[in-house]
Amino acid sequence: MTLRTLDSLGSLAGKRVIVRCDLNVPLKDGAITDDGRIRASLPTLNTLINQGARVIVCSHLGRPEGAPDERYSLAPVAQRLSELLGKPVAFARDTVGESAQEAAAGLDDGDIAVIENLRFNPGETSKDAGEREAFARQLASLGDVLVSDGFGVVHRKQASVYELAQLVPSAAGLLIATELDVLDRLTENPQRPYTVVLGGSKVSDKLGVIEHLLPRVDRLLIGGGMLFTFLKAEGYNVGSSLLEEDQLDTVRGYLAAARERGVDIVLPTDVVVAEKFAADAAHEVVAASAIEETRFGTSGIGLDIGPETARTFADAVRSSKTVFWNGPMGVFEFPAFAGGTKAVAQALTEVDGLSVVGGGDSAAAVRQLGFHDDQFGHISTGGGASLEFLEGKKLPGLEVLGWS
């Protein structure tokens, strides 16, 4: 089977097209702080608008508890979408109620509306398939076809992603098609050298990716909070740094497997150790073997890779033909501990080949640090979905669109 794409739906002029986007953007005091996911949805939305479709956009935002919560309203998203499209965007104050029905019915060819946060309805994320299907049927009443374009949720069995796609003619949008093309290039005959950079807080979040990619990559660079579990597995003391004791044997197994396969697992040679977890914490750079030998003793906490490691990682990235990066190298939200993440991001912009930022915190980091999306080969909109794809898992939101 192959993925059903927009072409499979035929002419959409005059049809009511439900578009499941992922517009789960960060908000602060009601203002959007990163509109990357909204901008990523534009190619599909503009294509449908230009075809004369009547577009009904749905998405989730945050984690409301299955009931309306003004903090998670999609109203600011609808406003930003209007600005980016350069045309009015109607906004429904509910998901499938009177306001949504009126918004859908009031559309003319080429018009667009956004309905309220799907997760305001408990049926969207219910663990009961019957409850999800009941909500999906209500959503289906709004439109004639579904274009699924929220890559960040295709690894979830949720009503708007899975059940709805079985109730009406459905196909993937341009964003999902692009994401899959890039991920396919990362797993099937990638150009070499192929380097994967993994960071973030926990090794346990990346176990499947490491296991699945070890036979495929040339180099694996380890940063972020997870680096301390690797260092501990190699016999180093790590002070009060983040550590997953229960993963030490697993990590030792990966290190041994990498050696057997000739894969170069590159661990930090120096780290930035701080007195405490705070933006203004006193800190110093020490060798990875001397984390407890700072003036902070055993209470010191590692918050970034050191400058020597940053240079080593950057050189490895720049010399690669294919690079996938998921997870910051340190606490990039604090300027004093953003150096490693910035060095890796800069190196990715200089890759002569395919450079992929794997969504989530990595995408937020590159934008916060002043980089632009077009400086990278691809910035994924789905951190969790990307990782599960690279783990070789089946993603229900793709399978229901014919992907296998």
| Alpha carbon 83 to its chain's center | 24
Tell me if 322 sits within 8 A of 186, measured CB to CB: yes
> Phi and psi at residue 195, in whole multiples of 5°?
-120, 135
* Residue 119 annotated as part of some ligand binding site: yes
Question: Hey, which residues does 110 pair with through a beta bridge?
Answer: none
> What is the pTM assigned to this prediction?
0.89
Name the active-site residue from 4, 15, 37, 232.
Answer: 37
Separation CA 76–CA 26 (nearest Å): 11
pLDDT confidence of residue 25: 92
- Answer yes or no: 360 catalytic: yes
pLDDT in tens, the chain (404 residues): 589 999 999 999 999 999 999 999 999 888 999 899 999 999 999 999 999 999 999 999 999 989 999 999 999 999 999 999 999 999 999 999 999 999 999 999 999 999 999 999 999 999 999 999 999 999 999 999 999 999 999 999 999 999 999 999 999 999 999 999 999 899 888 999 999 999 988 888 888 889 888 999 999 999 999 999 999 999 999 999 999 999 999 999 999 999 999 999 999 999 999 999 999 999 999 999 999 999 999 999 999 999 999 999 999 999 999 999 999 999 999 999 999 999 999 999 999 999 999 877 888 899 999 999 999 999 998 878 888 888 888 999 999 999 87
Domains (range + CATH), the chain: 6-178 (3.40.50.1260), 190-391 (3.40.50.1260)
pLDDT confidence of residue 340: 98
pLDDT confidence of residue 20: 98
* Residue 359 annotated as part of some ligand binding site: yes
> Phi and psi at residue 20, in whole multiples of 5°?
-85, 100
Which amino acid belongs to residue 90? A
* Residue 362 annotated as part of some ligand binding site: yes
* Residue 60 annotated as part of some ligand binding site: yes
* Residue 156 annotated as part of some ligand binding site: yes
* Residue 106 annotated as part of some ligand binding site: no
Name the active-site residue from 202, 252, 318, 321.
Answer: 202
Name the active-site residue from 200, 339, 360, 397.
Answer: 360
* Residue 206 annotated as part of some ligand binding site: yes
* Residue 253 annotated as part of some ligand binding site: no
According to the 3-state scheme, what is the secondary structure of the chain?
A: CCCCEHHHHCCCCCCEEEEECCCCCCEECCEECCCHHHHHCHHHHHHHHHHCCEEEEECCCCCCCCCCCHHHCCHHHHHHHHHHHCCCCEECCCCCCHHHHHHHHCCCCCCEEECCCHHHCCCCCCCCHHHHHHHHHHHHCCCCEEEECCHHHCCCCCHHHHHHHHHCCEEECHHHHHHHHHHHHHHCCCCCCEEEEECCCCHHHCHHHHHHHCCCCCEEEECCCCHHHHHHHCCCCCCCCCCCHHHHHHHHHHHHHHHHHCCEEECCCEEEEECCCCCCCCEEEEEHHHHHHCCCHHHCEEEEECHHHHHHHHHHHHCCCEEEEECCCCCCCCHHHCHHHHHHHHHHCCCCCEEEECCHHHHHHHHHCCCCHHHCCEECCCHHHHHHHHCCCCCHHHHCCCCC
* Residue 63 annotated as part of some ligand binding site: yes
pLDDT confidence of residue 1: 53
- Answer yes or no: 37 catalytic: yes
* Residue 61 annotated as part of some ligand binding site: yes
* Residue 141 annotated as part of some ligand binding site: no
* Residue 54 annotated as part of some ligand binding site: no
* Residue 306 annotated as part of some ligand binding site: no
> Do you know the residue count of the chain?
404
